[in-house]
Structure 1
Amino acid sequence: MARPFEKLPAGAKNHLEAMAANGLLSESAAATALGMPLDQLRKVITEHKPSKEIWENALAVERDQLLSALYARAMEGDTKANQTLLAVRHGMSEKQPRGSSERVSVVFNLPAALDPAEYMKAVRVEQEKLTNGSE
């Protein structure tokens, strides 16, 4: 039985980035291309920091390719591509209210719940105050 992988094999960086550039990057395709079982690929890119960085860089190549394609469509006049780029890259949307971009935020901090014995004690104290105050 072969030893489990502890990191990505040699050459994985170039291979994964090439896959990403060609739109072929997925965990299962990467595992097959690198000769690794899928579960071991997932474990390696989760637990081994340099391997995780290689995987994230490959995903960044794919993201850049997709954004480039979307940008080309937007420049050709595709309004949906324009809207998507404005929302994704610049945080702009036609759904945002016009005017001030500052929003009001209200936070309520509630005390921790009392255990039943403490609650009953607090109720009794309040009842005694009411009873003694009404005499």
Structure 2
Amino acid sequence: MARPYTSLPAGAKNHLEAMAANGMLSESKAATALGMPIDQFKRVIADDAASKQIWENALSIEKDELLGKLWSLADGGDRQAATTLLAVRHGLTEKQPTGGGGGVTVNFTLPAALDPSEYMKTVQSAQKALPDGGANE
């Protein structure tokens, strides 16, 4: 049985970046292209910092390629592509046109209910405080 991989094989960086630029990047395709079992590929990416960096760089290239294609569609008048770009890049959606989702919130804090006798004392005190003693009502 072959010894388990501890890092990506030589040439993996160039190979993964080329796959990303051509839109063929996935864990299973990358593992197959590098001659590694998928479980070992995933373990190497998780455990080896240099391999993880190579994989993340390849994913960044793929993301840039996809965003470029989406931009071209949006620039050509594709409404859905433009909507997707606004949502992904700027957090705007049709449901939240303001973007931040931080709309206005108003809170009312009401005092606890008074028992009827306490309420009457409050009303009577307020009437006495009026200049004419509350007689105009």
Tell me the residue number matched to 1:33: 33
Q: CA deviation at 1:102?
A: 3.0
Tell me the residue number matched to 2:59: 59
Q: Partner letter of residue 3 of structure 1?
A: R
C-alpha RMSD over aligned residues:
2.1
1:78-126 alpha-carbon deviations (Å, 9 max, x no partner): 011000000100111121165995355xxxxxxxxxxxxxxxxxxxxxx
Gaps of 5+ in 1: 105-135
Q: Partner letter of residue 62 of structure 1?
A: E
Identity of aligned residues (%): 63
Bigger Rg, which one: 2
Q: CA deviation at 1:49?
A: 1.0
Tell me the residue number matched to 2:90: 90
How is 1:112-131 mapped onto 2 (pairs within 5 angstroms)? Answer: none
Normalized against structure 1, the TM-score is what?
Answer: 0.72
CA distance in 1, matches of 2:58, 2:100: 39
Equivalent pairs counted in the alignment come to 105
Q: CA deviation at 1:32?
A: 1.1
> 3-state DSSP class of the match of 2:81?
helix
Tell me the residue number matched to 1:69: 69
* Contact 2:16/2:25, CA 8 A, preserved across alignment: yes
* Contact 2:45/2:51, CA 8 A, preserved across alignment: yes
Q: Partner letter of residue 96 of structure 1?
A: Q
CA distance in 2, matches of 1:46, 1:71: 32
Bigger share in helix:
1
Normalized against structure 2, the TM-score is what?
Answer: 0.71
Q: CA deviation at 1:26?
A: 1.1
Q: CA deviation at 1:41?
A: 0.2
CA distance in 2, matches of 1:88, 1:36: 33
- Alpha-carbon spacing, 1:36–1:63, altered in 2? closer, same or farther (3 Å): same
